[in-house]
Every structure is written in C-alpha cells, then in structure tokens.
Amino acid sequence: MQVYVKLKQTGKDTVLAVCDVELLGKTFQEGKIVFKVKDDFYNGGKTHVDDAISMIKNANIVNLVGKYCVEKAIQNGYVHPDAVLTIEGVPHAQIVKF
C-alpha cells in the first residue's frame, strides 16, 4: 500500500506527515471538526506504508491520516487504538514525543 509522506524540520521539531494516497486533497467533517488533508502538508512524495512507519523513529511529531497508515502504526506499537480519532470514518492519529 502506498502513502504520501512529508518529513520536515520546524524549529527544534521534526514533523512527519503521512496519509493514505486516496485521501490527499480531501476534506472531512464531523460536527464542528473540519479536517483537510492538504497537499502542501502531506505530499513530500509516495512511499510504501512500511517505509513511512519506519520514519516515525526519526520524528518527534507525527500526523497520520487513513486506515492503512494508522493501522500499521498501531501494529508497530506507535499508537494506542483508543487514541485514534475518527472523522467521517477516516482514522486520524497524532504522536508527540517529549
């Protein structure tokens, strides 16, 4: 499964953004929550989901959107299933390392 990834340095933080390919450019809304999967935030190129998950170790802030990348992050112990937010049925998880 392919995902979009973008790894960037923002001050002292290394931010990794990952989304399933079919979600790029879409907007999801549930109640007052509006979530935009923006091209400029997530699109640093495509890679296999396993490669994207391996990049988590090099980031201290991680943003994951989509069934495939969130499930892989859970399977690899990076995300607890109870910490996943679902917006219009689309899973979203964030990781912040201190």
Q: Where are the domains of the chain?
A: 2-96
Q: How confident is the model at residue 8 (pLDDT cuts 50, 70, 90)?
A: very high
Residue 96, exposed/middle/buried by CB under 10 A (0-12, 13-18, 19+)? exposed
CATH code linked to domain 2-96: 3.30.1860.10
Give the tens place of pLDDT for each residue, 51-71: 999 999 999 999 999 999 999
On the question of pLDDT at 21 being above 90, the answer is yes
Give the whole-number percent of the chain exceeding pLDDT 90.
98
* pLDDT on residue 46: 98
pTM above 0.85, yes or no: yes
